Amino acid sequence: MQQPSVRARAAPDRSPVSLAQALLVACKCGESSTEYERALAEVSDEDLRRLREDRDTALAFWINCYNAGTQLLLDRRPELYESPLRFVRFFHAPAVTVGGTALGLDRIENGLLRGRTKYGLGYLPKFLVTSFERRYAVGEVDPRIHFALNCGAASCPAIRAYEPATIDAQLDRATQSYLDSTVEYDAENGLVRVPRVFLWFRGDFGGGSGIRAFLRENGLIPDGVSPRVRYLSWDWSQAAGKFVEE
């Protein structure tokens, strides 16, 4: 089956979801994104109403905004990514503006998509929640987002354009594709090696038992086994433009 990907061109309407998709396409194609950035910055609360009412719409919108924001930052301010202070300078730098609110990658991921702090291995709620986050946050975290968000590192998953109508199937495919290429199951030694996001966001998956259940659901370990979990190292080498190709 052909994987969903970022299409080569888009002719968006002016809805926020279509604008975010068009922004992502412009990033992929190396085209001017100014029109879409400006339009997203100018959307109204009424324009964003669908995000508050429909979880699938919110998931697709914020994932696309995050991935587009990553590409914009890597193109315009690559030195932030290469900085020893990457986790402050890059992830907190304004990446995309929505409805007049400048958002960094950290705000999108942890404030809007997760509602949890990036500290504490995914178990702790986010502190200092802004009014924007309270209004537009997705709600309960979907751990599959960790296989859809690309922060520019070589170990990150490839980028797809997500759509509300098909996002559940898209997230399933993105998760399966990423795990198939990274997870290492050693049946002889009762060990499974998994991407480091399972450690950083352990609470999102429900702890050790939740991680194993997640792996079973995706066919990475057999039913009835409970291997020890080990975490693979993460390659932080900058890798811009990592899009799924048709």
SS3 153: strand
Specify the pairing of strand 101-103 against strand 96-98: antiparallel
Phi, psi of 83 (to 5 degrees): -65, 145
- Weakly modelled stretches of the chain, pLDDT under 70: 1-12, 246
> Contact, 16 vs 40, CB < 8 A?
yes
| Residues in Cβ contact with 30 at an 8 Å cutoff, skipping those fewer than 6 apart | none
Distance of CA 129 to the CA centre of its chain: 19
Other Cβ atoms closer than 10 A to 24: 28
Tokens encoding 200: 């950083």
Query: Residue 12 has what pLDDT?
Result: 52
pLDDT digits (tens, 9 = 90+) for 189-231: 999 999 999 999 999 999 999 999 999 999 999 999 999 999 9
| CA–CA–CA angle 144, 223, 212 (5° rounding) | 40
pTM of the model: 0.94
Residue reference for tokens 């020890």? 228
pLDDT digits (tens, 9 = 90+) for 128-148: 999 999 999 999 999 999 999
Query: Residue 62 has what pLDDT?
Result: 98
Tokens encoding 31: 């085209």
Query: Residue 6 has what pLDDT?
Result: 58
Tokens encoding 34: 């100014």
| Residues in Cβ contact with 38 at an 8 Å cutoff, skipping those fewer than 6 apart | none
The whole-angstrom separation of Cα 137 and Cα 236 is 28
